[in-house]
Structure 1
Amino acid sequence: METMDPFLYKELKNCDAKRCWALVKNVIGVQLLDDDVIMIPFLPEGKFYDLGRVIVKEERSPMQKLARIPPGALAIGKLTDFVKDEVIHGAFNRLSEMQKVETAHNPRYVFEESDMKHGVKKTVRVEILGTDHYALWSLPENNSLVVDFDNRGFPYVKKFYLLYDVFYARQINVYVRINDEVDEFCIRERTPIGFRLKRYKIQSNGLIGPTKDISNKKWNVHWIKNTMFRNPMDALPNVPNSGRSR
């Protein structure tokens, strides 16, 4: 067991295994996957970051851009949900075709750190069993599809981000202890843990434009929880949600 990083010790203020993931996910990404992989922001929401899904950013005011305030980012559904027309034959169907990428990963990865300061002992342990890597067989080409975000509840979208490369874990166990208080969170089914993105610009006629790879180091956003945000495409919940939460 390694000594806990001072930043992690300071930020680990509550014994909450789900929230702890946000504090250690980037280190896990570098150690287990690759340093250019973006890790899922909220562990219980892995299903929203599956292969072929789309992420959009919120619009910012000129003052927010000047102040370099990061935009909010939200996974809003599959790209197939937003396709209005197919220009190149077969482009729509290829969005659901995937291939397994043969990459070597630790079959039983363990991150564990612990430290005691001023009489308070803190321990974090994350165990990831079985990591698989999948990618889309082919990416949508320039001018191959017409998309419509406006009528699906997102009129501000001028570009979107496609998850074309996704890493999955077969089981995840997170254990947190602060003195005598203990919390655990486990996922015992295959779930995404990290992904790579390509950016697509949307032209004035709705056609998708050229793509660009998104670097993990330049991906500076405030993630928005899907569980606290009612997508306009979703059915109304039994208890209406009051809005978004960051």
Structure 2
Amino acid sequence: MTDQKVIMIRHAQSEWNAKGLFTGWADPVLTPLGRKEAAEAASNLAKLGLKFDRIYTSVLQRATETASIIAKSLNCQVPLTKSWQLNERHYGVLQGKSKEALAKQVGAEQVWRWRRGFEDMPPPMPLASPMHARFDTKYDGVEPTSLPSVESLKHTQIRAVNYWQKEVLPSIRNNSSVLVAAHGNTLRALIMYLANMSVQEVEGFEIPTGIPIELNINKHGRCSSWRYI
């Protein structure tokens, strides 16, 4: 069995990316620049002659919009397969707060640990908060106890890898051409698992918005190599 290619992409720039806010499970839309980033990503994928049989995204619109722009540009007549398990890492009470303002309050090192640390977690979002996912109709079919109030990257990896193994990898092994449009931390967690990154490596690893990543998946379901497109 030869290596099979899969494309991953972090959603293009969202309104909260542009404002420097912790986003997590909040649901801002793409900026005009973000839509341009997604179109440029589609153009680069088209140059490689790529067209997708399966497109997996989170349920958050910055990811689904990025995927939709790419699918339309490449004339991929397939529905998006959406799952909350591909959502961004949940940032608890930090969601909606300015990274710059928080750095002044608690120090840049603490903010960096919250953003990049593998096991670090900010305080959880209260269950009674109207911003909690259990009050969001997007998650009506999900067991409420499965919906997090905060996550570390380690927690994010557990749910993302579980979804990868159950849903995405079987499609790849069935010779489908696959696109995964998700989020910075979701993809960091997946690539850490697939490429056997160490904790130290993943904590220094940041994925830019709107740049496709090509991964070669071997017969063991792991990544033998990867590159930005």
Q: TM-score, normalised by structure 1?
A: 0.21
Structure with greater contact order relative to length (CA < 8 Å, sep ≥ 6): 2
Q: Which has the larger radius of gyration?
A: 1
- Normalized per residue, which structure has more strand? 1
